[in-house]
Amino acid sequence: MSNLFGKRSVSDDGGDHWMSVSDLMAGLMMVFLFISVALMRDAMNERDKIKEVAVTYEKTQEAIYLALLEEFSEDLDKWGAEIERSTLSLNFTAPDVLFANGKSDLSSKFELILSDFFPRYLQVLNQYKPSIQEIKIEGHTSSRWNHDSTDYEAYFNNMNLSQSRTRAVLGFVMNLDYVRNDHFNYSWVKQYVAAVGYSSSKVIKNKHGVELAQRSRRVSFRVITNAEDQIRKILGGE
């Protein structure tokens, strides 16, 4: 047993001590201390990296918003459009300009708007492409359908309608000369631009919680940055 726990010694006051065990415990405590310090340092490094990504994300968001606003500020009113700062969405909010009621064919006026808007939109975003994860063309409807439709029927009818409309928008902009005749533009749009229909899941309401049917019927071009992917890579150690 003495080989395992060390030799017992007797102190001047008569107390027994296991010297090797106490030394071992002290050594273990130092090891745990070094491990704790190392873990704290790694955690602080991760925190600093995430903070840096967050700051860069905010700066990029603001820069994209200001660039879009500078480019399109004089066009928004005549297009019936607006730019939402927090989501980087450029929303076309005049439903009568976009499509006929219940139809997915683009109106001639909306085609003219898109022909002017989309090439300029890509040019504005060109310098931010390394920070862009995706551009979503989002279709939104009101919650209404026919007066005798159930809520379930209205939701899925509007889902089909919103999806058909965004596919029509995507198909149209991809067929513009600026996109179709430029391999880089065409490839980038094909890879990064998606068409999504949300039906009435994101209707716009007033301060009293009442749905604003006209404003809910809209098409949005929304920029999504890759900050979340960068944070995930930091946490995953990639």
Checking if the pLDDT of 45 tops 90, the result is: no
Mean pLDDT, the chain, integer: 86
CB-based contacts of 78-85 (< 8 A; 24+ apart in sequence) = 79/113, 79/117
Helices and strands counted in the chain (H then E)? 10, 7
Query: What dihedral do alpha carbons 91, 96, 101, 107 form, nearest 10°?
Result: -90
The predicted pLDDT at position 26 comes to: 72
The predicted pLDDT at position 31 comes to: 76
The predicted pLDDT at position 83 comes to: 97
d(CA 174, CA 186): 7
End-to-end CA distance of the chain: 49
The predicted pLDDT at position 5 comes to: 47
Nearest alpha-carbon partner for 181 in 130, 121, 119, 104: 119
pTM reported for the whole predicted model: 0.75
The predicted-structure confidence for 1-40, as pLDDT tens digits, reads as follows 555 444 555 555 555 545 566 777 777 777 777 787 767 7
Spell out the domains of the chain, with CATH numbers in brackets.
Answer: 50-234 (3.30.1330.60)
